[in-house]
Amino acid sequence: MTSTIDDWSELASREADGLAVALFWSKATNRVKVSVADASLEEEFHIDVAGPHALDAFYHPFAYAVGRGLGFGGAQRVSSTCSRF
């Protein structure tokens, strides 16, 4: 039987206008991830990032998410159908 170790430590977090971004590190796996949650949409996504890119991904999570097909459903539809920009 294999056990899963949940040892994620929060390194940084920030929140504004219902959008929460957090940076986590796992000592057991030496992995880093950024979690983004939107309280108004009740949606979230997580991005695994390489250690050297951790702070950049923390401050610019949507730039990292778009290349991986991640994001919030409503925001993607609005941006793809909006012709003003």
Domain presence at residue 84: no
Contact status, residue 32 vs residue 39, Cβ threshold 8 Å: no
**3 lies in a domain?**
no
Q: Would you state the pLDDT for residue 80? A: 35
Looking at residue 83, its pLDDT comes to: 34
Q: What's residue 49's pLDDT? A: 93
Q: How many domains does the chain have?
A: 1
- Model confidence pLDDT, tens digit, residues 22-65: 999 999 999 999 999 998 888 898 999 999 999 999 999 988 88
Please indicate, yes or no, if residue 35 is contained in any of the structural domains: yes
Does the residue 2 lie in any domain?
no
Find the helix or strand (DSSP H, E) in which 52 lies: none
- How far apart are the C-alpha atoms of 37 and 14, rounded to whole Å? 11
Domain-located, residue 44: yes
pLDDT confidence band for 4 (50 / 70 / 90): low
**What is the residue range of 58's domain?**
8-79
